[in-house]
Structures are given as structure tokens and as C-alpha cells.
Amino acid sequence: MLSRILIGLVAAGAAVIGVPGVAAADPDPAPPPPPPPLNLNALKPVSPEGFAIQNDQGYGFAVPGDIACVISRGSGNYGCIGPFPGAPDGANQVTGGQQGVPTFKAVANPFYVFQTPPARLLPGTRISFRGVTCGTDGTSTQCTNQFDGAGFAVTPGGSFVLPPNNPLLLNTGEGKNPYLN
């Protein structure tokens, strides 16, 4: 009888040893990469005159997501204010210039306050002035400068900067940035 108990314990021990251990929980998967930038050149251009604001000092326009944008006629600087999905540090403003990477910031006082709601930039259109182009496909909005291709994108899945000479902008089949001559 004792031998049957010992054989049973040895068999049970072997079964426990042969069972693989419980794996620790897998780490959370990395977030998906941002969607590719819009091809702004594929969007229909609109005349900036219909978007003139503040005695023709700039062009203002609204894009999807309760976001309002401005391009300055004087400096060519540009930016948008509003609730940006997934923006860095909860930013509610993004600004850029004729060259270089734009900056996202969380601010109490936006760089521009509209007296009346700006005209809406329709889906599938773009507005350009002084080397800056902004456009929307009705879901995503993007602005870039033509000097180095830097800019920003606001999409339902996140908001992010586009680095200078973004390789996705270079893929025109011609081997050059479509924003540079």
C-alpha cells in the first residue's frame, strides 16, 4: 500500500514538473503607427481670398474636429487651435513657420481669437499662401511648408509633427520632394 502511495506521489510530481509554467502577461502592444500624410497636391486648391480675416492680415479657416486655423499674410506663419486627438501633452495649439518643425503646446490663451467663426475648408480641398499649404480630406487635416516639407497632421487617431523632408512626401516616383522646385 505504501508503495502505491509513493508511486502516486512520484507520478503526480512528474506531472507537475512536466507542466509548463504560467507565462507572465504579455506587454501591451505598441500603438499603431500614424497614418501616412495626406497628399496635399491631390487636393483641390481653393482661392485664399474667400478666407481673408482681420482686414486681409491673414487667412482663417475651420477644419473637421472644431479646429480653426490661420495663415499669416505678413510672416507666412501658420497654426491651428482646438481639441487635437492624441496631441502631445494635451496640446490645444500648434504653430509653424516658413521652415522647420511646428510645435504643439497646451495654452490658456490661443495665438488667435476669431471674432466670428471662420469659413470651413471643405473636404478634399487645400489652401496655400506664402509657401504654406493646409488641406483636409474631411477626416484628417495637414499643414506643411514647402521649404523643407515639415508640418503637422491632425487625424482621428492622433496628432503629430511631420519632420523636414518626410520620406513619405518624397515618394512621388520622381525622386524629389513635391513641395520643392
The per-residue pLDDT for 177 is 43
**What value does the mean pLDDT take over residues 69-89?**
93
Which range has highest mean pLDDT (3-7, 35-39, 138-142, 174-178)? 138-142
- On the question of pLDDT at 40 being above 60, the answer is yes
The domain ranges of the chain are 40-109+122-170
- Between residues 111 and 167, the one the model is more confident about: 111
Cell 495663415, residue located = 71
- pLDDT score recorded for residue 71: 95
The 3-class SS string of the chain reads CHHHHHHHHHHHHHHHHHCCCCCCCCCCCCCCCCCCCCCHHHCEECCHHHHEECCCCEEEEEECCCEEEEEECCCCCEEEECCCCCCHHHCCEEEECCCCCCEEECCCCCCCCCCCCCCECCCCEEEEECCEEEEECCCCEEEEECCCCCEEEEECCEEEEECCCCHHHHCCCCCCCCCCC
pTM: 0.72
Percent of the chain's residues with pLDDT above 70: 71
